[in-house]
Amino acid sequence: MADLRVNFAGIKAPNPFWLASAPPTNSGYQVQRAFEAGWGGAVWKTLGDPILNVSSRFAGTSYNGQRVAGFNNIELITDRPLEVNLKEIYETKKKYPHHAVIASLMVEPNQAAWHDIVKRVQDVGVDGFELNFGCPHGMAERGMGAASGQVPELVEKQTYWAKEVAEVPVIVKLTPNITDITATAYAAVQGGADAISMINTINSLAGVDLDSWNTIPNVAGKGAHGGYCGPAVKPIALNMVAECARNPEINVPISGMGGVSTWQDAVEFMLMGAGSIQVCTAAMHHGFSIVEDMVDGLNNYLDEKGIANLDGIVGKSVEKYSDWGNLDLNYKVVARINNDTCINCNKCHIACEDASHQCIDMLKDTSGEPILRVREEDCVGCNLCSIVCPVDGAIDMVEIPNGEPMTWNERQAAIKAPVCNS
């Protein structure tokens, strides 16, 4: 049994899987059910001045029959009175003293407002705060959420105000709706954040109904952009986590989220620097019980690798993430088709023929059976064939020796270096 406990910027939890601030953490009832199901922590649905919500709030995107490949919402922060939430936070923490209960907060960019809410929430006993500078819809129109999270000065200032009175760790949750997330991450660090978390949702319109021509979702025939999350956003989130993790000036722990659905996704985020993992869409799609396999799968993975605890994986791939200019131009892989495993769907052939470098031939073997073969001298190692191949193990991308390593940056430096004519 690997040790899955985390101490994330001082916030302790039995495991790294936390529910993100969202509909599943709306109430004490839900959070307590989640803890019973095995979640290690929960970030309570954002507290602030209670708002009014609209009816018809969510939309899923399907891909080839797969439901909830992506998920879009226009729900705002909590619509319950602060006193009710505080009472339930108090009760939950009392019942589950070893689980992480973190309060997500959002108020207008005003020092007094931040001081007031931090103090009131802290009084009921939370393990930490998460400042919501990320929600892209609704609240942003009122100058909160993503609207303040897109302005580094506002991120820094509000973090500072929260930190002035906070006695527990403060995590700053960042919006991905910005050109360079390291700019706001850096601002959070400058403001004194104990940790950062990302990503919040991405501005989105889930779809348009082909018959009514209404937006999806629509509220009485009108729509407004929502926030996008779910499996489809994982690569975007993973990059943002990795970019922050490899930036030496952003030297605080990162809570990673965005499309995490399985323990495998979680390991990827951890390898790229996430010290804890937040999940929402997967729980909304399948219920709280999905955490069981996340915990079990992570544990088995660590055991299989002979790794005792999460320190053995967190951040271990960060040094492998760099700039394009540092990639070896002489590295070469080529596709090799294993005709014993290949089922002859010819998808690799047509993908290569129409969309890549025309190097996979459809041939017959000596007994007249169809086979596919790569002309390796023409293969650029793009991976497309192995990506479209429906059968694991039918196409290997094989490394072949190809001279001394040379990156673009090294090459440019070599060209600029004075030539010695002797």
Partner 1 sequence: MHLNRVKNKKISLDDLRVNFSEIEPALTQKEAMDEANRCLYCYDAPCIQACPTGINIPSFIKKIASGNLKGSAKVIMEANPVGASCARVCPTEELCEGACVLNDASLPIMIGNLQRHATNWAIENNAQLFEAGQVNGKKVAIIGGGPAGLSSARELARLGYEVTIFEAKEKAGGLDTFGIVSFRLPQEISLWEVQQVENLGVTIHTNTKVGRDIQVEEIINNYDAVILAIGMSKVPMLGIEGEDAEGVYDAIEFVENTKTPPLDHQFVGKRIAVIGAGNTAIDAATCSVRLGAADVKMVYRRTEAEMTAYEFEYEFAKQDGVEFRWLTQPTKIIKDESGKVKALECVNMELGEPDESGRRRPVQVPNSTFTMEVDAVIKAIGQTRYTSLIEEFGLEHNWGVVKIDTETHQTSNPKVYAAGDVIFGDGQGDAMVVTAAQQGKLTAHAIHQKFIAENQVAIESR
Does residue 344 bind partner 1 (CB under 8 A)? yes
What angle separates helix 263-271 from helix 291-305, to the nearest 10 degrees? 60
Residue given tokens 């319950």 in the structure block? 80
Nearer to partner 1, 60 or 275 (CB): 60
Among 183, 205, 219, 362, which residue sits at the site for partner 1 (rule: CB under 8 A)? 362
Over the window 30 to 69, marking each residue x when it contacts partner 1 by CB under 8 A and - when it does not, the resulting string is ----------------------------------xx----
| SS3 sequence of 55-103 | CCCEEEEEECCEEEEEEEECCCCCCCCHHHHHHHHHHHHHHCCCCEEEE
367 binds partner 1 (CB under 8 A): no
By CB under 8 A, the residues from 66 to 85 that bind partner 1 are none
How near is the Cβ of 344 to partner 1 at its closest, in Å? 6
Tokens read off for 6: 């985390």
Binding mask 145-164 for partner 1 (x = CB under 8 A): --------------------
Per CB under 8 A, the list member of 350, 380, 382, 397 interacting with partner 1 is: 350
What's the min distance (Å) between Cβ of 354 and partner 1?
9
Closer residue to partner 1 (CB): 390 or 401: 390
84 or 391: CB nearest partner 1: 391
Give residues 274-333 in contact with partner 1 (rule: CB under 8 A). none
Q: Percentages helix, strand, coil for the chain, rounded to the nearest 5? A: 35, 25, 40
Q: 338-365 b/e with 16+ CB inside 10 Å = b?
A: eeeebeeeebbbebbeeebeebbeeeee
Which CB, 319 or 354, lies closer to partner 1? 354
Residue number with CB closer to partner 1 (21 or 386): 386
Distance CA 280, CA 260 (A): 8
The stretch near partner 1 (CB under 8 A) out of 197-205, 247-255, 347-355, 375-383 is: 347-355
Between CA 273 and CA 409 the distance in angstroms is 26
Q: Is the Cβ of residue 62 or residue 383 nearer to partner 1 in the bound state?
A: 62
Q: Does residue 391 interact with partner 1 by CB under 8 A?
A: yes
**Distance linking the first and last C-alpha atoms of the chain:** 65
In the set 183, 205, 345, 397, which binds partner 1 (CB under 8 A)?
A: 345
Beta-carbon contacts of 289 under 8 Å, excluding residues fewer than 6 positions away, are 37
Specify burial of residue 324 (Cβ count, 10 A radius: 0-12, 13-18, 19+). exposed
Question: Which structure tokens are listed for 277?
Answer: 């993992």
Q: Which of 135, 348, 359, 389 is catalytic?
A: 135
Residue 330 structure tokens: 């002489």
Assess whether 359 carries a catalytic annotation: no
Options 191-199, 298-306, 322-330, 343-351: segment touching partner 1 (CB under 8 A): 343-351
DSSP 248-278: TT--S-EEEESS--SHHHHHHHHHTTEEEEE
Active site residues: 135
Q: Name the residues that contact partner 1, by CB under 8 A.
A: 64-65, 343-347, 349-350, 362, 390-391
